[in-house]
Amino acid sequence: MFPPERIEIVTGDITRQAVDAIVNAANESLLGGGGVDGAIHRAAGPELLAECRALNGCPTGECKMTRGYQLPAKHVIHCVGPVWHGGERGEDELLAGCYRAALSLAKAHGLKSLAFPAISTGVYAFPLERATRIARDTVRAEADESLDLVRFVCFDESTAETYRRVFATLTA
């Protein structure tokens, strides 16, 4: 089990995180979009889009990694989270797959620190508390001991409060 003292929950801008990799809540094209995805593409600069074009997209529940370009983070791990359809189309497993795939890429590339957004909880409408429990349980079970830090960067204080409440059960 990944130690809870290596997990941080903050309110802020994921594009300003000085970590080895930030995770992008991307769409299947990987070519930018709204929300976190658009903000990351704007902050990283046009080189990110050029690299993403060469990746030929990514299936839901999986991830691909690029350089960070103009971001403080060295890399971007692009995860394609599921659109919420009421929980009857494997959304929970697809979301857990995003976290597993990102953690696996981090391990494979010797990364020490990751920053995640609240994947799929914006326009993809995944219920926040449910998504937070999946993030907590997957990171706790799957994060490698070689990681020094897993940070969850919440866009607003209300989201951060949900993360703090759900993650508080880590120490219980």
List 13, 20, 37, 148, catalytic entry: 37
Confidence band for 170, pLDDT divided at 50, 70 and 90: low
Residue 110: Cβ-neighbour burial (10 angstroms; 0-12, 13-18, 19+): exposed
Please report, for the chain, the start and end positions of each structural domain, with discontinuous segments joined by +.
Answer: 4-171
Does the active-site annotation cover 148? no
| pLDDT at site 171 | 52
CB count, 10 Å around CB of 118?
24
Q: What is the pLDDT of residues 132-167, one digit of tens each?
A: 999 999 999 999 899 999 999 999 999 999 999 999
| pLDDT at site 169 | 83
Q: What is the pLDDT of residues 6-44, one digit of tens each?
A: 999 999 999 999 999 999 999 999 999 889 999 999 999
User: Candidates 3.30.56.10, 3.40.220.10, 1.20.1600.10, 3.40.50.720; correct CATH number of 4-171?
Assistant: 3.40.220.10
